[in-house]
A and B are shown apart, each in its own frame.
Chain A
Amino acid sequence: MSAVKIKQISDKDVDIVVENFDIAYLNSVRRLSLSEVPVLAIDDVVILENTSPVYDEVLAHRLGMIPLVTPVDRYSLPSECDCNNPSGCPKCRVMIVLDASAGESPRTVYSGELICPEDKDVKPVSDRIPIVKLAPNQKVKVEAYARMGRGKDHAKWQAANIAVLLEAKNGKGMYELKLETNGSYKASTLLTKSIQLLQKQIKTISEAVGEV
């Protein structure tokens, strides 16, 4: 009989010990959590105005790297969405706007100023990430589109920061799986999502084999 013991769990990380279970499956879960679980990240940026000392491309890259809280099962990958629209539809894309200007004194623009008018659940993981610094009278006006994506395509879509599988200290055939998220998903959601993904992939393979 295989048994699972939760060693430690919080919103940010999960640590489980699994007994009598095939290590290959556990490793698949680990790898899927790192590179396959889709999360939201800003993908397209329309720069309407940027007079800040930060270049347009640097600004766009910084916006992309900001981890966004992803509502579970609300958005689908653009490649799997049924809209067939290259620019996306409300099911596979969210708009995020940023409109900031400095008055008489320099100031820093933080991620808390990013507004998502279409979906109140989509927001940056932290409100205190500096995006740009503005000198007096400078302005940044940006329209950005967040999409779902996979870690294997870009690091901004990586759901797990850390995913390790190791042999547990006490006992043979016991393995410890540690996952740490960047806050886009809760750690428990990330773990269940990776397991669901593995089940889905195995189903796809067995169906394909069945047809042969």
Chain B
Amino acid sequence: MAKMLQRSLTAGLLVAASILQGCVNATVDEMTFLEPTEGIGDASVVIMGRRHAPDYETEFDFIECIGDHIRRGDNSISVLHELEFINMMYPWFEPRTAPLRTDDIDKLLAQQRVADRFEELKLEYMIWIDGSTIETNSSGSMTCGVGPGGAGCFGFGTWGNASDYEATIWDFTDEIEVGRISANTSGQSYMPAVVVPIPIIAPVQGTACDSLGDQLLKYLSAKM
């Protein structure tokens, strides 16, 4: 009877853990112009992270998340895979050599092979994402133990995360910047543990990804 109760309790806690989520605050700012009213047709878009700062780098999985978000929203938009693009264009998009301003596009196109590759790819928009997600605070303590009768944890932990990202959209054909979108999100996650730890995670980075992804999709897609 006691074992059944324990199993039910564990199952209940696991279900609760999968349902419960921490709260996230999100702020999105948008400033775009020259919107492609009929979508981007058969042209392609590449989304890349800025990684030249010494103290942080935009996460590869965050860039992938935004790309997936756009593909899911409108499968007619061809979003190039970041790593494949960087390898294809080596050494022109390494942290040391990546163009920082639209004026630098001309220098890139001066290399005939680079210009030919861009034409092959039909690259219309280059979107740079700059920012990262950091842990802002953490407190609490938890103790876990293993014994002959089983294992368990006891305690409480909490931590905060904050995401701060800015997307800069370059129109590659006209070599101009056509928009900036920023997303700031923050949230507090909790992990109470009575035998089983129950993570109540605030999806801070995921919300930033959805927010930026939605705005970029709205800009690029003819459907929205």
Query: Do A and B make up one complex?
Result: no
B residues neighboring A (CB under 8 Å):
none
A residues neighboring B (CB under 8 Å):
none
